[in-house]
Amino acid sequence: MSDDRRIYADKQQPEIYKALVAAARECRTKAAEIGLSRATLELVNVRASQINGCAFCLDLHTRLAVKEGVTAQQLGVLPAWRETEVFSEIDRAALEIAEAVTNVATDHLADPDYARIRGQLSDDQLAVLLHAASIINAFNRISILSQHPVTHRDAPSN
């Protein structure tokens, strides 16, 4: 008889998950050292999670983005960020990287686009953003396949 319940991969193999969490922590540390804001990293996390349809990560990283100063307007237009003027050049480069990493199976970042991004970011910033986008994609996959729940949260009282 089979058991159809999903396992939480993070709970089943916590040492591996802790290593992924440590990688995310190191990525945030390096980002701060090289001048990438936590808000930019959270935009990467939210955008990748939107593309992947990861409710758990969207719930978490939307709240963190707001805490880091990302505006409701920015979050609202994030899927159409190219059509707006509400993101900095660094944020735009970071979002392009997030989409390229997330969609790598179906679309590769063209050389001219990569060159343009390199002109906007330092090599360290580019490397950290590539890692950040890869890490959130790993978290998305774990959460989606484990079906991590998102429960209703009451709005804070005024």
Superfamily the domain 12-146 falls into: AhpD-like (1.20.1290.10)
User: Each residue of 41-57: pLDDT tens digit?
Assistant: 999 999 999 999 999 99
Domain regions of the chain by residue span = 12-146
Model confidence at 4, in pLDDT bands (50, 70, 90)? confident
Q: What is the DSSP string of 79-134?
A: GGGGG-S-S-HHHHHHHHHHHHHHTTTT----HHHHHHHHHHS-HHHHHHHHHHHH
Q: Is the pLDDT of residue 158 over 60?
A: no
Check residue 32 and give its pLDDT.
98
Q: How many residues does the chain have?
A: 158
Distance of alpha carbon 54 from alpha carbon 96, whole angstroms: 19
Torsion of Cα atoms, 5 then 10 then 14 then 20, to 10°: 160
Check residue 112 and give its pLDDT.
95
* Average pLDDT of the residues of the chain: 94
CB 145 within 8 A of CB 110: no
Neighbouring residues of 62: CB distance < 8 A, sequence distance ≥ 6:
46, 75
